[in-house]
Homo-oligomer: A and B are copies of this chain.
Amino acid sequence: MHFLALNLLNSGVQVSMVCAAIGLAFAFLLIAVVIRSPSGNQRMLEIAAAVQEGARAYLNRQVKTISVIAVVIFILLWVFKDHPTAIGFVVGAFCSLAAGFIGMRVAVLANVRTAQAAGVSKLKALRMGFNGGSVTGLLVVGLALLSVSIFYTIAAKLIGSDAAIRSLVGLALGGSLISVFARLGGGIYTKAADVGADLVGKIESGLEEDDPRNPAVIADNVGDNVGDCAGMAADVFETYAVSLVGAILAGLLTLAGNPAAIVYPFVLGGISVLGAICGILFVNVARGKPAGVLMGAVIINVLISAILFWPATHSLFPVGVTIDGVLRPAAHLYFASLVGLIMTPVIVALTNYYTSSHFRPVQKIAHASETGHATNIIAGLAAGEHATALPVLFIGAAILITYHFAGLYGIAIAVMAMLSMAGVIISLDSFGPITDNAGGVAVMAHLPKEIRTVTDELDAVGNTMKAVTKGYAIASAGLAALVLFGSYVEELRGHITGRGEAFTLVFSLSDPKVIIGLFIGGLLPFVFTAFSMDAVGKAAGAVVREVRRQLQAKPGILTGQDRPEYGTCVDIVTKAALREMIVPALLPLVAVVLVAVIKPLGPVVLGGLLVGTIVTGLFIAIAMTSGGAAWDNAKKFIEEGNLGGKGSFAHAAAVTGDTVGDPYKDTAGPAINPMIKVVNILAILIIPIFF
């Protein structure tokens, strides 16, 4: 690579590093703002400390469990692959874990202060919750951008640019693997505690949410932190890092020799950090309805990125770009990035339609609750399935358009542009658990009822935000996985032609091996989610039995005379979550290796498997996350006083739906997101080992 090209590579990556650093600096500024805010009374701090302690204890044990598996994989990569990839794996795994820890730390700081702020005004609480979330958003994005760019810069100096990019795949695998575990472990924890607490607490004993007389209440609040905060942060780190690596890899494989193709994804990511900061500032000055203010931040980020992407694209590709043998103007790449940017508000709006109580789908579930538990469930399952339609059609359109503009690289750029919005999107997402926990603190600390009213309203907004960001996450994951599949094919081509053979694999649907691969791959999300839900059911059952036991042994708990033993519930869930996450998390890895190793299967079946996993995974993930959120909001709709309100027959049915929706939307559904990527990344990595 001649000097100018190297120069371009370095300066482009440096731009993204600077932007990432600005994002991190702004995040630390926000931390200072959060810490300086009033943190509430002694009782509130005590509760927050108890929750934090449980969360930290869980995460420490989770790290130990995952470390065993990570060390095994590290050794396998070190021995059978190459050292840079193995080191990349460790970097990715470490950063993903770190993202989880940071997410949790910040949330615990922010939630107690949000409860305190809710006593002053709704606007103040909104800003406090959002700023807390923004810290996570910026830190995660900054960390991902910085880790990839630093690793790449150092590795490129040592082993050259191409080999450095290939070892980035190791970094992606590390991030994805940890993310699968964190999503599953945290997801099982949070929902087992939640479901368990609800089943006995709310349904059997008629206690309110977060009532301190419920022995599972601390475990429930710990769950919000290890699942919704730590698990989600690890997940987003992974999604961002993998999309960035995927785009770089697609650039290397399909636009070989054009260094701008490698720099471009970095630059897009860097620019959007600046856009995210503007969005965050907007929330801190704007007034209006909470949902409107938060959506304003997204729009501002989209606009700023859309404006800055134009000059960036043209300065990187001054004479256009040659794709599939055709010279295209730089504007074609810009249009691809624009599609990615626009997909973000589109998917957000669609998911909002399917999951907000202002629209028909959720209201249908609420009405179905009037005829009982079963009709509520049937309506919710149908609603989840319906919710797949428009997002998938838009994803299809995005593929068609971006491929038209710039081939596989166009899709990759669209994914990166979509993911570049992660900073502001995660700020919205983290807002949910923070306000949820703020509400918990308020109730447990016996704060005035008005405060609970404010946190409840913000919690409902947070619920919708959580749902829409899950739609965003899975849509981008599906696209990112497709890019990885494209890279799998190109890498395989390079590997086979590299040893002097002709590359004749076409992965045709007329080839029964492709069909078998589609079947095996299609099976993975089904079995994966089945195991996840089993796990939640099993762990929740254990919580139910423990809570029943305590209530029976000490009837004084319900009257407030006896103190429940919170610790035993926390302990039961911790053990169950760690035990139950192993099988589903290892399943996709084992499947990929088996298909690669077993003789009559091999690379073609594996290719089918990758696409099969994406196809059914995308549908199941959308159906589960949207369906779960719709059930949740149908219950909230009834609790607002509709159709008989709290305590009515319809409400009991809606609580059942909400409980079923819990593992759907917070365990099984979101865990598919890293799962489909880990499958695709692993396939790329094992090509030189098995084929």
Quote the shortest CB–CB distance from A409 to chain B (angstroms): 12
A615 within 8 Å of B by Cβ?
A: yes
Note all chain B residues with C-beta closer than 8 A to A515: 396, 399, 482, 611
Contact B656 A374 (CB under 8 A): yes
Encode A384-399 as 1/0 by CB contact (under 8 A) with B. 1110110011011001
Q: Is the CB of B615 within 8 A of A522?
A: yes
Q: Which residues of B contact A384 (CB under 8 A)?
A: 530
Stretch from A3-11, A139-147, A421-429, A536-544 that touches the partner: A536-544
A392-B519, A509-B485, A527-B388 are contacts. A534–B379 as well, Cβ < 8 Å? yes
Q: How far is the CA of A393 from the CA of B367 in the complex (A)?
A: 40
**A489: Cβ under 8 A from any B Cβ:** yes
CB of A93 to closest CB in B, whole Å: 29
A604 to chain B: closest residue by CB: B509
**When chains A and B are docked, how far (Å) is the Cα of A510 from the Cα of B610?**
12
A residues 634-689 near B (Cβ < 8 Å) are 655-656, 659-660, 663
With known contacts A519-B392, A615-B616, A659–B608 Cβ distance under 8 A? no
- Chain B's closest residue to A510 (CB) is B489
- CB-CB under 8 A from A400, the residues of chain B are 512-513, 516, 600
Complex alpha-carbon distance, A508 and B509, angstroms:
6
Is the beta-carbon distance between B529 and A377 smaller than 8 angstroms?
Answer: no
Are B527 and A389 within 8 A (Cβ)?
Answer: yes
Tell yes or no: A371 within 8 A of B by CB. yes
Whether, in the assembled complex, A623 has its beta carbon less than 8 Å from a beta carbon of chain B, the answer is yes
**Contacts A389-B526, A509-B607; is A519 near B623 (CB within 8 Å)?**
no
Residues of B within 8 A of A563 (CB): none
Q: How far is the CA of A518 from the CA of B618 in the complex (A)?
A: 11
Counting CB contacts under 8 A, is A110 at the interface? Answer: no
Q: A530 to B384: give the CA distance in the assembly, Å.
A: 8
Query: With A510-B486, A530-B385 known to touch, is A523 a contact of B393 (CB < 8 Å)?
Result: yes
Whole-angstrom distance from the CB of A401 to the nearest CB of chain B? 9
Minimum CB distance partner of A663 in chain B = B378
**A382 within 8 A of partner (CB):** yes
Q: Are B509 and A372 in contact (CB under 8 A)?
A: no
Contact A527 B489 (CB under 8 A): no
Interfacial residues of chain A within 290-314, with CB under 8 A of chain B in the complex: none
User: B382 to A534, Cβ gap below 8 A?
Assistant: yes
Q: Are B616 and A616 in contact (CB under 8 A)?
A: yes
Contact of A388 with B510 in the complex, beta carbons under 8 Å: no
A514 interfacial by beta-carbon distance below 8 Å: yes
Q: Is A520 an interface residue (CB 8 A)?
A: yes
Whether B510 contacts A509 by the Cβ 8 Å rule is: no
Residues in B neighbouring A540, C-beta threshold 8 A:
371, 375
Does A101 interact with chain B (Cβ within 8 Å)? no
CA gap between A485 and B57 in the complex, in Å: 54
Q: Which residues of B contact A545 (CB under 8 A)?
A: 371
Q: Is A442 in the interface zone, CB < 8 Å from B?
A: no
A385 touches B615 (CB 8 A): no
| Complex Cα spacing A392 to B612, Å | 13
Shortest Cβ gap from A116 to chain B (Å): 34
CA distance A611 to B522 in the complex (A): 12
Q: 1/0 per residue A349-370: CB within 8 Å of B?
A: 0000000000000001001101
- A282 at interface, CB cutoff 8 A: no
Kindly state whether residue A495 has any CB partner on chain B within 8 Å.
no
Docked pose: A119 CA to B389 CA in angstroms: 53
A411 near B512 (CB under 8 angstroms)? yes
- B386 near A527 (CB under 8 angstroms)? yes
In whole angstroms, what is the CA distance A393 to B537 when docked? 26
| A83 CB within 8 Å of chain B | no
Q: For chain A, residues 175 to 227, give those with C-beta under 8 angstroms from any C-beta of chain B.
A: 195, 198-199, 203
> Distance in Å from the Cβ of A457 to the closest Cβ of chain B?
26
Cα–Cα, bound, A411→B516 (Å): 13
Q: Is A415 positioned at the interface, with any CB of B under 8 Å from its CB?
A: no
Question: What's the Cα separation between A655 and B642 when bound, in Å?
Answer: 27
Residues B486 and A523 in contact, CB atoms below 8 Å apart: no
CA distance A448 to B506 in the complex (A): 68
- Contacts of A377 on B, CB cut-off 8 Å? 377, 656, 660
Residues of chain B contacted by A416 (CB below 8 angstroms): none
Question: What is the CA–CA distance of A384 and B530 in the complex, to the nearest angstrom?
Answer: 8
A199 interface neighbour in B375, B395, B520, B655, Cβ under 8 Å: B375
Question: How many Å from the CB of A634 to the closest CB on chain B?
Answer: 13
Q: List 30 A-B contacts (CB under 8 A).
A: A199-B371, A199-B374, A368-B537, A370-B541, A371-B541, A371-B544, A372-B659, A375-B541, A375-B659, A378-B533, A378-B660, A379-B534, A379-B537, A381-B530, A382-B529, A382-B530, A384-B530, A385-B526, A386-B534, A388-B527, A393-B523, A506-B506, A509-B514, A509-B607, A515-B611, A519-B615, A522-B616, A612-B615, A615-B615, A615-B616
Known: A400-B512, A616-B619. 19 other contacts (CB 8 A): A198-B374, A371-B540, A377-B377, A378-B533, A382-B533, A382-B534, A385-B533, A388-B523, A392-B520, A392-B522, A396-B515, A396-B520, A399-B512, A399-B516, A482-B515, A489-B509, A509-B514, A509-B611, A616-B616
Interface residues of A (CB under 8 A from B): 195, 198-199, 203, 364, 367-368, 370-375, 377-379, 381-386, 388-389, 392-393, 395-396, 399-400, 403, 411, 482, 485-486, 489, 506-510, 512-516, 518-520, 522-523, 526-527, 529-531, 533-534, 536-537, 540-541, 544-545, 600, 607-608, 611-612, 615-616, 618-619, 623, 655-656, 659-660, 663
